[in-house]
Amino acid sequence: MTCSDKGHFEIKLLLKHNVGDPGSVFTTIRVGLDGPIHIEGHLKRLIEAHASLFGSNLEIEENEILDIVSHASDQQELPHLVRVDIDRNERITASQRPLTRMPKEISLSTQPLPPGPNSPRIKQGDWAAYLEARRMANYDGADAALLINQDLVVDGDTFTPIFILENGDIAIPALDLGAVKSVTLHQILNQDRNSRVTPLQMRITLSDAYSCLSAAAVGSGMGIRRILSINGKEIGANSDVDLANILHQQHNLDRGENHD
């Protein structure tokens, strides 16, 4: 069905999304056994990103997004991913995305942060440089890319890195360095006022990352993964703290499932 009025959508069922259109914002939603995960956070991301980029004032009901995701997910093996785009004309499209199942412990390779503003970034249009960072990390023998700029950790290719630093502080890279705010991590951290995990946003050097007590990668496609090594350097070798396990426990309080 197609209509430019809000509340009506065009559904595209594609095996691979064309990321060459800069005139849209998007989010990638994980669909599990209980349906789309953190749908409210993804809807908020879409509305805020579209307003920031196009000056819009979208009013989209959660059930409308659930409907379009459901159609795009038809007969797909669970879990899987669905990318939802909203273009400048407020047309919403959904496309199936492949879900790469990661090992529980992953290795990272540092790659340059793709060009863009030194401010919180919006998922929009052409995301090819981030996909290329993953490809280069895989070429280096790693599972994923840790994005750096001037020796500062900024983001992950499709995830947010979170660290327990050597001094015990829990930290994520400052968004104003050019990171994308993680829907999954935000939902995990804000579901319980008594959360054990309250990260600081700060400038984290690569040296800080190497010497941290524990680190994890969090994202819709990534799930929650322990970061075992960065550039071949083992992380948390002399520590018995497992940040990924702490996040799993926190997440299971809300979902009652293992976000792998």
CA distances from 171 to 199, 213, 216 (A): 5, 12, 11
Q: Where would I find the H helices in 158-236?
A: 183-190, 206-211
Q: How far apart are CA 243 and CA 232, in angstroms?
A: 19
Domains, in order of start, for the chain: 24-97 (3.30.470.10), 105-255 (3.20.10.10)
Q: Tell me the percentage of the chain whose pLDDT exceeds 70.
A: 87
What would you report as the CA-atom Rg of the chain, rounded to the nearest whole angstrom?
18
Q: What is the pTM of this model?
A: 0.86
At 55-78, the pLDDT tens digits run 999 999 999 999 999 988 877 888
At 117-171, the pLDDT tens digits run 888 998 987 789 999 999 999 999 999 999 999 999 999 999 999 999 999 999 9
At 70-101, the pLDDT tens digits run 988 877 888 999 999 999 999 999 998 888 88
CA distances from 81 to 33, 124, 136, 164 (A): 12, 17, 22, 29
Among candidates 162, 176, 106, which has minimal Cα distance to 134?
Answer: 106
